[in-house]
Amino acid sequence: MYDKIITKTRTRTDTELRNFDHNRFFFRKMNTRKDFLYLQLADRIEALISNGTYTIGDKLPSVRSLHEEHGVSISTALQVYLHLERKGWVEAREKSGYYVHYSRETMPRLPKVSDPAKTASIVNISGRVAIIRHTTGRKGMISLIGASPHLSLLPVNKLNKALRQAAREEKTTYIPYGDIDGHLPLRRHIARHSLAWGGSVAADDMVVTNGAIEAITICLRTIAKAGDTIAIESPTFFGLLQAIENLGMKALEIPTDPVTGISLDHLEDAFRRKKVAACLFISNYSNPLGCLIPDDAKKQLARMIEKYNIPLIEDDVYGDLHFAPERPRAIKSYDRADLVLYCSSYSKNIAAGLRVGWIINRRYHDRLAQMKFMSSAGTGMLPQLVFTRFLDQQRMDLHLKPLRQALHVQTLQMTRAIQQYFPADTRLTRPQGGMSLWAVLPRKVDSWALHRQALDHHITFTPGTLFSSQDKYNHCLRLSNANPLDDDQTWAIQMLGKLIQKQLDSGS
């Protein structure tokens, strides 16, 4: 079957072929996935739609056919199609059956590989970020920004139970200062979870921080100084740019593919020219592109920093939010020289407000701990005790599995809404995890003006210029898939589409 599909796709673009290869790998993994039976079967059908075996308008096997051919009950077969219908892949036609409603071929085109300037830039975005943060908190605002999953997707009751247990059983443990490295039982939980991303670390190799931003700031202070140049993706998360800005460092933006991430050729060229003191990359499902550096490239990157002796800060806060069955590996898993400073947190998958993140690195550990002490004298004990209690009693995957499924559904739903209401020539990313969609609009569009216009309708989003130090991407915007696509969110996407078209019409 796959030989026929490969022949059919030989004329596709390189980016499309990369997506196809991922889907083929995804399909082969289905037989080994331990999951609900209806989800296994639904994923297999979704993979066949994704790789082009079924195209839009094709009739799918009947409920009775699924029942007979796969040995599942009629109710399970119905669940398969209800799940795919909710994701937007199929539609039911009265007295006729189920048909493909949406396919990869009908998705918007991908953005092009970015082309930033080859020189380092002074970062100056904090003022613009402050404007966006101010508007986000306004009453009655429909936010398309969401930095963490909707409360309905988080284990609120279990966290409350862990909080009560910690307060009752620990009594006074949370009142004094704790270990500067962090609460040891929590560090052991984090060390055990490193197996998921290909690591094998010790609790003594890490420092617990107040979220990932503090972790990254501490790492930057440890391995670089004011005036140094930090290599970053382009575009990249504005929080990382602010960390570079606040420390008086410069940013060198590296061309980035919307599917496979940074260009290693351009990065090595910067290494050869001795233009870089350190690197700072989001390895898995980056913000805002949602790109995923392939394993081979991660391994090559680890060997490259070893060759040039350049440290790399790896931000992996989205790695657990994968839509495919298996979690992607971290760059740190290929790190032989201990030059990768691995950073992550519980903000994107459990509870952002508790502010618990961490750094994993042995080589720089003592210096990191010193910087941590100078930064905040330690991480609050109560949040650490709450997470420890939560992790003592819960398997992380029991929470993460439905969260991933919900985020995948929301990503597909928002993709369809954008395609329906935005201009036809809009380019859009196709993330396989995380919480961001990056829309590239016609160049006539001014996303800052669009933001001001949207505020009049109580809508807020993130303009593209916040994701670069070079005043780029003003015709782009980042939208979050963190919230369920309800009527308000759909209306907001529709209204944005109208405002975009109004700008285009007035500029013609």
Q: Which alpha helices (H) appear in 377-395, and where do they start and end?
A: 381-393
At residue 111's C-alpha, the angle toward residues 109 and 113, to 5°, is 135
Q: Are residue 126 and residue 62 in the same domain, yes or no? A: no
pLDDT at 35: 52
Write down the pLDDT at residue 256.
98
Determine how many CB atoms are found less than 10 A away from the CB of residue 460.
21
Low-confidence spans in the chain with pLDDT less than 50? 1-34
Q: Do 99 and 191 belong together in one domain?
A: no
The Cα angle at residue 348 between residues 347 and 349, in degrees rounded to 5: 100
Residues 336 and 435 reside in one and the same domain: no
410 lies in the same domain as 472: yes
Quick check: 289 and 267 in contact, CB under 8 A? no
Q: Tell me which of 368, 396, 424 is where a domain ends.
A: 396
pLDDT at residue number 39: 84
Residues 79-89 as b/e (b if ≥16 CB within 10 A, e otherwise) read: bbbebbeebbb
Tell me if 190 is assigned to some domain: yes
In a shared domain, residues 351 and 444: no
Per residue in 45-65, pLDDT (tens digit) is 888 887 778 877 788 998 888
Closest-CA residue to 378 (of 355, 408, 395, 397) = 355
Q: What whole-number distance in Å separates Cα of residue 69 and Cα of residue 53? A: 18
- Which distant-in-sequence residues (6+ apart) come within 8 Å of 326 by Cβ? 29
For residue 11, the model assigns a pLDDT of: 36
Last residue of a domain, one of 350, 375, 396: 396
Range of the domain at 432: 121-150+401-507
Beta bridge partners of 345: 357
User: Structure tokens of 134?
Assistant: 């101010």
Q: Are residues 138 and 161 in the same domain?
A: no
Strand-pair partners of 314: 281, 342
Same domain, 354 and 471: no
Residue 93 and residue 163 in one domain:
no
In a domain, 115, yes or no: no
**Does residue 116 belong to any structural domain of this protein?**
no
Residue at which a domain ends, from 396, 421, 441 = 396
Residue 330 lies in a domain: yes
Helix (H) or strand (E) holding 488: helix 487-507
| 214 in the same domain as 294 | yes
Could you please report the per-residue DSSP string of 62-104? Answer: PHHHHHHHH---HHHHHHHHHHHHHHTSEEEETTTEEEE---G
Residue with token string 């420890």: 388
Please tell me the predicted confidence (pLDDT) of residue 146. Answer: 81
For residue 330, the one-letter residue type is A
- Considering the entire predicted model, what is its pTM? 0.83
The CATH number of residue 248's host domain is: 3.40.640.10
Contact 83, 127 (CB under 8 A): no
Q: State how many domains the chain has.
A: 3
Residues 276 and 225 in one domain: yes
Q: Evaluate whether residue 354 is within a structural domain.
A: yes
Q: Are residues 344 and 296 in the same domain?
A: yes
Please give the Cα distance from 465 to 350 (Å, whole number): 29
In terms of domains, do 421 and 459 share one? yes
